[in-house]
Amino acid sequence: MPSIIKRMGAEFFGTFWLVMGGCGSAILAGQWIGRTGVSLAFGLTVLTMAYAIGHISGAHLNPAVSLGLWAGKRFPARDLIPYIVAQVLGGLVAGGVIYLIATGKSGFNPIGNFAANGVGSASPEKYRVLPGLICEVVMTGMFLLVIMGATDKKAPAGFAPIAIGLALTLIHLVSIPVTNTSVNPARSTAVAFFAGGAFVRQLWIFWVFPIIGGIGGGLIYRLLSPEEPK
């Protein structure tokens, strides 16, 4: 297994790519590609990085995924903090790069226009708070079920990145109107401070509820697929 420093580096660059490709597509090209294009962009970032760095770090790219895999007994507790730190830093650097590019356009204002996540008045389609919270928990939980099932040693080898990337695409197709789709605290943190206002005040929501969903998904998979007796 690679050293923790190498795995942190992989998670840093992997999360950088997720935010750069996913949030970058929404901020820089959203008016041309629409929500379907943005959904596909997020799925492609995970698919490509799963193939690129999956053999190094597992390509979690998401604190909720790391915690969900820990709950599912697929990931050691000692590596949680290093992974989460690397993921958040990678996302923040990508957010900064997107900001530098986006502000090169005359008249661009990041406030409310930076692919940030929100509920209530900050929701893209003004969904109330409770539906937004439910959406984040359910979508993250289902994402973990797909991840754990696709990467199970009994699953067909080599196809996990495709299943995971398509799952993230589907999640975005469903939930962009509700919360702008987080399911990933690092992704939310990466852009919230550039968007400002309510998006910063609500950031805690997009840590707490994706993590609840991720841990729930990991635990549910353990119940559905118990270890065989030795």
pLDDT the model gives residue 230: 42
Q: What is the pLDDT of residue 22?
A: 98
* DSSP result, the chain: ---HHHHHHHHHHHHHHHHHHHHHHHHHHHHHHHHHHHHHHHHHHHHHHHHHHHHHH----SHHHHHHHHHTTSS-GGGHHHHHHHHHHHHHHHHHHHHHHHTTSTT---TT-S-----GGGSTT---HHHHHHHHHHHHHHHHHHHHHHTSTTSPTT-HHHHHHHHHHHHHHHHHHHHS--S-HHHHHHHHHHH-THHHHTTTHHHHHHHHHHHHHHHHHHHHSPPPP-
Which amino acid, one-letter code, is at 108?
A: F
- Considering the domain boundaries, does residue 73 fall inside one? yes
Rg from Cα positions in the chain: 17
Domain enclosing residue 31, as ranges: 4-224
Residue type, 107: G
- Prediction pTM value: 0.96
- Whether 183 is covered by a domain: the verdict is yes
Any domain includes 170: yes
Q: Are 20 and 108 in contact (CB under 8 A)?
A: no
Q: Would you say the C-alpha torsion 64, 69, 75, 76 has a positive or negative sign?
A: positive
Distance in Å from the first CA to the final CA of the chain: 25
Give the pLDDT of the chain (230 residues) as one tens digit per residue: 899 999 999 999 999 999 999 999 999 999 999 999 999 999 999 999 999 999 999 999 999 999 999 999 999 999 999 999 999 999 999 999 999 999 999 989 999 899 999 999 999 999 999 999 999 999 999 999 999 999 999 998 899 999 999 999 999 999 999 999 999 999 999 999 999 999 999 999 999 999 999 999 999 999 998 665 44
Domain of residue 30, CATH code: 1.20.1080.10
Indicate whether 229 belongs to any domain.
no
How many residues are present in the chain?
230
Q: Count of domains in the chain?
A: 1
